[in-house]
Structure 1
Amino acid sequence: MFAVPPTEPKHDVKEQPRKRDSIQTQERILLAAQAEFARKGYDGARVDAIIDRAKISKNLLYHHFGSKEDLYIRVLERTYETLRRRQGDVPLAGLDPVEAMRRLCESTFQVFIDEPDIIVMLNTENLHRGKHISKSPIIRALYNRLSDTIRSILDEGVRQGVFRPNVDTVELYISMSALGYFYLSNRFTLSLLFERDLKAPQNLVHRKAHIVDMVLSYLTNGAPKGSWTPQAPSSPPAEAPEETKP
């Protein structure tokens, strides 16, 4: 008797299109949710508004995300993933440590400029005292990798004799990030107080160079020859934000 060959498993030709549709639906929901959370915060955001933005049913939203909090945590994860991905897009391997640190400083500031929702989302989560971030192991893992990257740059700088030893990687990143984060998160009030449009392109260029100057001056125990920071450009006084104009 001839052996009967095993039956080939049947593949549902509709499976892949369904999977693609599911991914696209999730992406649409997340984009709508990010816009709503960024505008109104966690407490002010409404699921019905997210549904309207995404043009889906409430059942479909809860099919992909079990609750408003689950959806918010996933948006937070995307926020941090965007920040880390943009930093990771900058090629640092093979660079001398001073140049690698300069690029890391610049990319950290640039992502805050390009992705303003990041600042809003982080501000909102700090109002909640990190309650939702504490429920996400993904975000913690992202920052473990960042710490490793900074440590490798610092170690190479110490080995070459260009960086001071015993620099705390966490303290350094907090300072580097804060130099850009505070500038942008408070740009409306600071622009009015100092009569300088902080969001003007020439001032953003100056601020980026100033961040590099501050970090490298600290790491190298004083600025190297020349100046890392160009002279601050003159700019017209800042206008009041739209909502405060008569």
Structure 2
Amino acid sequence: MPTAAATAPRLKRPQSWTQDPEGVKREILDAARAEFVEKGLSGARVDEIAAKTSTAKRMIYYYFKDKEGLYLAVLEEAYSRIRTLERTLDLAALPPLDALATLAGFTFDYHAENTDFVRLVMIENIHHARHLKVLTKISEINLSALEMIGDVYRRGVAEGVFRPGINLLDIHLTMSALSFYNVSNRATIEQVFGHDMGAPAARIRRRASVIEAVLRFVRAD
């Protein structure tokens, strides 16, 4: 007759890092992003990041070398994600005004829905972009943002709906700044003016204002 031990259900062993290395790296990056966003680069601790994963601390050092290497990976992924999602917009299929409005709306929504990205950029600015300088891929990754704007802008100028002579970076900075501020300064604006920029109605109104501001900046009329 089988013993109780023999008939007891077997506990599923955690998947090892050798079986799913990408899964382990993904788990580490997710935990690290949350830690960096909450405490900044200086305040984050590898021990605490490891405690939030199902893997060992040594695996963080195995994959990312040290805390700064982990931070660099989180930062690169943050920039890569927004640029990757931008490229799914298929702006070429839209008239120039609609295409730019779509891109401005996406930029606003992405910042509003991904506050971690805003926090990471703020943290990196505190460090004077020292770590971005190490990431050689960052400039290449972000070039796609200007390329997309350039394609839309040139079509708009050719059709007479956009005024010529505008620097592409200025268009990008206008969209990014208005979208970024709506998240980065949310707490201070609420404290000073009693206005919650994250409230649904306020967000809808502000989104429309941002799109209008971007279009007024480039329109020929």
Map Cα deviations across residues 148-192 of structure 1 (whole Å, 9 max, x no partner).
111111100000000010111111111111011112110111123
Contact 1:151 / 1:169 at 8 angstroms: preserved in 2? yes
Which amino acid counterpart does residue 142 of structure 1 have in structure 2?
I
For residue 51 of structure 1, what is the aligned residue in structure 2? 50
TM-score for the superposition, normalised by structure 2: 0.89
Is 1:190 matched with 2:198?
A: no
For structure 2, the 5+ residue unaligned runs are 1-15
Q: Distance in 2 between matches of 1:64 and 1:92?
A: 37
Higher relative contact order (CA 8 A, sep 6+): 2
**Partners of 2:184 and 2:152 in 1: how far apart?**
28
Task: Give the Å deviation of 1:195.
Answer: 2.2
Amino acid at match of 2:178: L
Which residue in the other structure is 1:157 paired with? Answer: 156
SS at match of 1:134: coil
TM-score by length of 1: 0.80
Pairwise mapping of residues 1-246 of structure 1 onto structure 2 (< 5 A)? 21-222=20-221
Shift of 1:103: 0.4
Retained in 2: the 8 A contact 1:86–1:107? no
CA contact (8 A) 1:119 1:185 kept: yes
Q: Which amino acid aligns with 2:211?
A: V
| Counterpart AA for 1:123 | M
SS of 2:20 mapped into structure 1? helix
Distance in 1 between residues matched to 2:191 and 2:17, nearest whole Å = 52
The answer on whether the counterparts of 2:27 and 2:53 sit within 8 Å (CA) in structure 1 is: yes
Encode CA deviations 1:64-120: one digit per residue, 9 max, x unaligned.
Answer: 111111110000011111221232232212211100000000000111111110011
Partner SS, residue 163 of structure 2: coil
- Percent same amino acid among aligned pairs? 32
- Gap regions ≥5 residues in structure 1: 1-16, 223-246
Distance in 2 (CA, whole Å) between partners of 1:38 and 1:197 is 21
Q: CA RMSD in A?
A: 1.5
User: Any conservation in 1 of the 2:83–2:144 contact (CA below 8 Å)?
Assistant: no
Compute the displacement of 1:20 (Å): 5.7
1:230 equivalent in structure 2 = none
Amino acid paired to 1:198: M
Structure 1 residue 18: deviation in Å? 6.9
Please identify, of 31-40 and 81-90, the stretch whose mean Cα deviation from structure 2 is larger.
81-90
Distance 2:54 2:38 in 1: 18
Q: Secondary structure at the match of 2:187?
A: helix
Contact 1:86-1:111 within 8 A present in 2 as well: no
Q: How many residues align?
A: 206
d(CA) in 1 for partners of 2:83, 2:147: 13
